[in-house]
Amino acid sequence: MLPLALWASACGAPVVVPDGAVDDAAGFDVRNDPQAPRPDAVDGEEAAVTQDATPGPDALVDQDAASPPDAAAEDTVTPPMDVVAPPMDATTPPMDVVTPPADAMPADAAEACPRPGTLERVACGRCGTRERFCNAMSVWEYGACGSEGVCTPGSVVNEACGRCGTRPRRCLNTCQLEPSTAMCTGEGDCTPGETRRTTAGCPAGQSRVLRCSAACALTEIAEVCRASIPLDVTVLIDVTGSNNSNLARDMPMMMDALIRPLLALSSDVQVGVAYFAEFPVSPYGIASDRPFYAGIEPGRAEAALQAAITARPNGSGADAEDAVVEPLGVLAGLPVNPLITAPQRCSAGRIAGGCWRPGAARLVVLYSDSRSHNGPIPGSTMLQSPYNPTLFMTAPLLWPDVRDALRRANTTVMMLNTAVSSTSGPAAQYNQMLMDLMQPTTDNLATGTGTMSMPFAAVSMQVVARARGLAGL
């Protein structure tokens, strides 16, 4: 049978311990020590039952009994003072709302705009423009930059020019390069693709053809050394009015002083004749003028050559300059202007323009007293008295284009200047042409009656000597 106190506890009745009750065996006050053994403990066994112990068959546990005050205090953990719990009314964001990382935002996304739907065109890049649109998020959306210039204002560009050279050009506020005024510097020896015959690197009495490389140097061998070289010569005669007196003086000697000695060099030397005056366009020439007249292609028939010299055309010219550059371009193989109504007609197998033989070295002997329209001005990149292109259906040739064509065709030019006594004569321009062609200025020969000139027979001897070298003789 259960002791009264345990039975009362099991039945939910409070257990009352009389004041001053003391354990007889140990002397503990059971009112103050909850761990003390109950009065009804037998032989020192503890009658206390905890929640973690499994009760025996004769034990009843009061599940509703409150924990002693001291035990509850020991098990309670006070949170740190700096731990702040979120407010009860905080709203948790929806799970499908994702904030993109900062680096994933477009470059212009941070630029706000005033009114959605606004479309503007704004400046961009190098003087270009682009559209921007104010989207529904009040942020500008930008289109691609278009219509930009070629440079940044104030910068300087080293532009390629001439024979692998460069020249500086400043960028204007319009993002375009200023017109070229600087001289081309650092040029090489030749124009890429140009060929030139030389005795350098060959045994005595032989020559070879070198080709210009992409680096503007004569380093590529186009033809090996050989003793005999075919040579075609064209005598290009100025038939304008200012040169009439010179023609009357020198033409009777042309066959004996120049053409026959050239033909006597070798059976592989041929000679032809052509003429020039001026374009039939006012204010440059009159209606009967032509910038090029066909004569006779290079050959060895003396009678035909004599007839060509005797039957030369008569030109005029209406200003100080004539069309020297144009006929040189025709002989170099450039397109023939429609105003040239009598172009050279070539035999089968000949190369158009000067009717040259394939593989032959080429020599043009210019006989003139005039500077040329569209020709070079010494020490300048400008051209001499350029033609007004608006007066022509097809614009006349420019010296830079003719110069390059002569180089590519491996054509040597000799100048027989008949106007050395004139202050407006062509001597300086002819020297510049020769330098542009990488030739010595000794190829500019003065002939006539001036104090600086030589008789036609004397200059003809120098032409023949030059031709002999070109023929490898």
Examine the domain organization and report whether 180 and 210 are in the same domain.
no
Examine the domain organization and report whether 425 and 347 are in the same domain.
yes
Residues near 161 by beta carbon (within 8 Å), at least 6 away in sequence: 167, 180, 184, 187
Region of poorest pLDDT, from 139-153, 214-228, 381-395: 214-228
Bigger pLDDT: 193 vs 235: 235
Residue 120: inside a domain, yes or no? yes
Q: Which two tokens stand for residue 139?
A: 């942020």
Residue 87: inside a domain, yes or no? no
Residue 250: inside a domain, yes or no? yes
**Most confident range, picked from 188-202, 387-401, 436-450:** 387-401
Start-to-end Cα distance in the chain: 154
Residue 159: inside a domain, yes or no? yes
pLDDT (tens digit, 9 = 90+) per residue, 404-419?
Answer: 999 999 899 999 999 8
Examine the domain organization and report whether 349 and 383 are in the same domain.
yes
Examine the domain organization and report whether 171 and 205 are in the same domain.
no
Residue 2: inside a domain, yes or no? no
Q: What is the pTM of this model?
A: 0.57
HEC per residue, the chain: CCCHHHHHHHCCCCCCCCCCCECCCCCCECCCCCCCCCCCCCCCCCCCCCCCCCCCCCCCCCCCCCCCHHHHHHHCCCCCCCCCCCCCCCCCCCCCCCCCCHHHCCCCCCCECCCCCCEEEEEECCCEEEEEEECCCCEEEECCCECCCCCCCCCEEEEEECCCEEEEEEECCCCCECCCCCCCECCCCCCCCCEEEECCCCCCCCEEEEEECCCCCEEEEEEEEECCCCEEEEEEEECCHHHHHHHHHHHHHHHHHHHHHHHCCCCCEEEEEEEECCCCCCCCCCCCCCCCEEEEEEECCHHHHHHHHHCCCCCCCCCCCECCHHHHHHHCCCCCCCCCCECCCCCCCCECCCCECCCCEEEEEEEECCCECCEECCCCCCEECCCCHHHCCCCCCCHHHHHHHHHHCCEEEEEEECCCCCCCCCHHHHHHHHHHCCCCHHHEEEECCCCCCECHHHHHHHHHHHHHHHCCC
Examine the domain organization and report whether 363 and 384 are in the same domain.
yes
Cis-peptide, bond into residue 168, ω within 30° of zero: no
Please report, to the nearest 10 degrees, the dihedral formed by the alpha carbons of residues 9, 10, 11, 12 taken in order: 50
Examine the domain organization and report whether 203 and 345 are in the same domain.
no
User: What is the percent of the chain with per-residue pLDDT over 90, rounded to a whole number?
Assistant: 55
Examine the domain organization and report whether 119 and 264 are in the same domain.
no
Examine the domain organization and report whether 235 and 374 are in the same domain.
yes
Query: What is the arithmetic mean of pLDDT over 347-360?
Result: 91
Examine the domain organization and report whether 130 and 156 are in the same domain.
no
pLDDT (tens digit, 9 = 90+) per residue, 22-42?
Answer: 444 444 444 444 454 454 444
The domain boundary residue, chosen from 227, 246, 276: 227
Looking at residue 172, what is its pLDDT? 93
pLDDT (tens digit, 9 = 90+) per residue, 440-450?
Answer: 999 999 998 76
User: What is the percent of the chain with per-residue pLDDT over 70, rounded to a whole number?
Assistant: 75
pLDDT (tens digit, 9 = 90+) per residue, 233-282?
Answer: 999 999 998 898 899 999 999 999 999 999 999 889 999 999 999 999 99
Examine the domain organization and report whether 114 and 240 are in the same domain.
no
Maximum distance among all alpha carbons in the chain? 170
62, 97, 247, 256, 359 from 310: Cα distances, Å: 151, 100, 11, 14, 30
Query: Whole-angstrom Cα distance, residue 341 to residue 278?
Result: 13
Residue 372: inside a domain, yes or no? yes
Query: Whole-angstrom Cα distance, residue 97 to residue 65?
Result: 50
pLDDT (tens digit, 9 = 90+) per residue, 318-328?
Answer: 898 999 999 99
Structural domain total, the chain:
4
Residue 91: inside a domain, yes or no? no
Q: Which of 362, 366, 354, 364 is nearest to 426 (CA)?
A: 366
Please report, to the nearest 10 degrees, the dihedral formed by the alpha carbons of residues 66, 67, 68, 73 taken in order: -130
| Domain range enclosing 138 | 108-142
Domain of 328, CATH number, reads 3.40.50.410
Examine the domain organization and report whether 196 and 262 are in the same domain.
no
Question: Is 155 within 8 Å of 173 (Cβ atoms)?
Answer: no
Supply the mean pLDDT for the chain: 80
Bigger pLDDT: 38 vs 456: 456
Whether 77 has a pLDDT exceeding 50, the answer reads no
Count of CA atoms in the C-beta half-sphere (13 A) of 60: 13
Question: Is 53 within 8 Å of 39 (Cβ atoms)?
Answer: no
HEC per residue, 259-275: HHHHHCCCCCEEEEEEE
Residue 127: inside a domain, yes or no? yes
Other Cβ atoms closer than 10 A to 450? 15
Q: What are phi and psi of 290, to 5 degrees?
A: -145, 145
Examine the domain organization and report whether 411 and 391 are in the same domain.
yes
Query: What is the arithmetic mean of pLDDT over 109-122?
Result: 88
Q: How far is CA 282 from the centre of its chain?
A: 40
